[in-house]
Chains A and B, each alone.
Chain A
Amino acid sequence: MGMLRLYDSEVASRLLLGTARYPSPAILEESVRASGADVVTVSLRREGAQLRAGQGFWSLVRSFGVRVLPNTAGCHSVKEAITTAHMARELFDTRWIKLEVIGEDDTLQPDVFGLLEAARLLIQEDFQVLPYCTEDLVVAERLLSAGCRVLMPWGAPIGSGRGLNNVFGLRALRAHFPTVPLIVDAGIGTPSHAAAALELGFDAVLINTAVAQARDPVAMARALALAVEAGRTAYLAGAIPARDMAAPSTPVIGQAFVP
């Protein structure tokens, strides 16, 4: 299956998992294990001095033995995203940052202008930026020129479970940047969506809500892992082109003539 390259690191699993919205920490832990994920996303929030909720969560995540990819979720401005990225780098001790600059609240659509500006600034400061972007080719080109080495286009709005809204656009993105690691981030709802992304040649998928909010998150994590493996294997195997008319699969030569 080959390894997934993320800057100067390589990971085996092509399923990256979010850690939010699980019914319990125990189910989160079991889901991470069932998914086989080597990378999980995390965030940072205000810590209450009494509850110290973040401390318990952080011990739990460290016990998983996986790499963490911190995000700048909820940031609506370049300034906020930059400050959050700096705090995340110190807290999680990683140069990776899943850069989100949100531009619109109903769709949680990336503000691609702010995203590009923040990516430039963070790359100058030696961050390894994984930008949450759209499938727009021009934006992708600019992010790559700014120094991004991985792109994370959305499949559909975060948490919507709608799958790949713009298959044409995603296919074009894949074709334009054949060697850039591309991860479909957001919108995956089912294993078939995940398989479809990998079949299109995307290198990986990042999924959270589809697992965390499933009736049985652990089983869904397993189902998604299987789908990702199937999709990647199918991509490497090379699918037949679709056609409009039937083509008999059973050879017709030597068929008996029965009037």
Chain B
Amino acid sequence: MKIQLNGAWRELTASPQTAAAPTLTAMLRVCGYGGATVATAVNGEFVPARARDELHLQDGDRVEVLAPMQGG
């Protein structure tokens, strides 16, 4: 399946154990965000950190991964 991660298309594979679509938590780990302080949104809706384990991504999902940045 393909998702759009911070605006760029990216291929994701289903979990080898369960063949289920990867969760948001799994996607963050696979894509290199493990341990990072980030906030997430899927298809324009905020997904709290506590809900990431339950959220299975779907083909074509738009995922935003944001972090603290300089601001005025």
Q: Which of A's residues lie within 8 Å of B, judged by CB?
A: 18-22, 28, 41-50, 52-55, 57-58, 61, 70-71, 73, 79-80, 83, 86-88, 90-92, 158-159, 206, 208-209
Check if B49 sits within 8 Å of A42, measured CB to CB. Answer: no
Q: Which of B's residues lie within 8 Å of A, judged by CB?
A: 6-7, 31-33, 36-41, 44-46, 48-49, 64-72
Partner of A44, one of B6, B33, B68: B68
Q: Which residues of A contact B39 (CB under 8 A)?
A: 44, 86-88, 90-91
B40 CB to nearest chain A CB (Å) = 8
> Which residue of B is nearest A50, CB measured?
B32
Check if B64 sits within 8 Å of A49, measured CB to CB. Answer: no
B3 CB to nearest chain A CB (Å) = 14
Partner of A71, one of B6, B36, B72: B72
List 24 A-B pairs, Cβ < 8 Å: A18-B71, A28-B70, A42-B70, A44-B68, A45-B67, A46-B65, A46-B67, A49-B65, A52-B36, A53-B67, A54-B38, A54-B69, A55-B37, A55-B67, A57-B68, A57-B70, A61-B68, A70-B71, A83-B41, A86-B46, A86-B48, A87-B46, A91-B67, A209-B72
Check if A45 sits within 8 Å of B44, measured CB to CB. Answer: no
B72 CB to nearest chain A CB (Å) = 3
> Which residue of B is nearest A70, CB measured?
B71
Q: Which residues of A contact B37 (CB under 8 A)?
A: 54-55, 58, 91
> Which residue of A is nearest B45, CB measured?
A83
Given A46-B65, A48-B6, 11 more A-B residue pairs with CB atoms under 8 Å apart are A22-B70, A28-B70, A43-B72, A45-B69, A47-B66, A47-B67, A54-B37, A70-B71, A83-B45, A90-B46, A159-B72
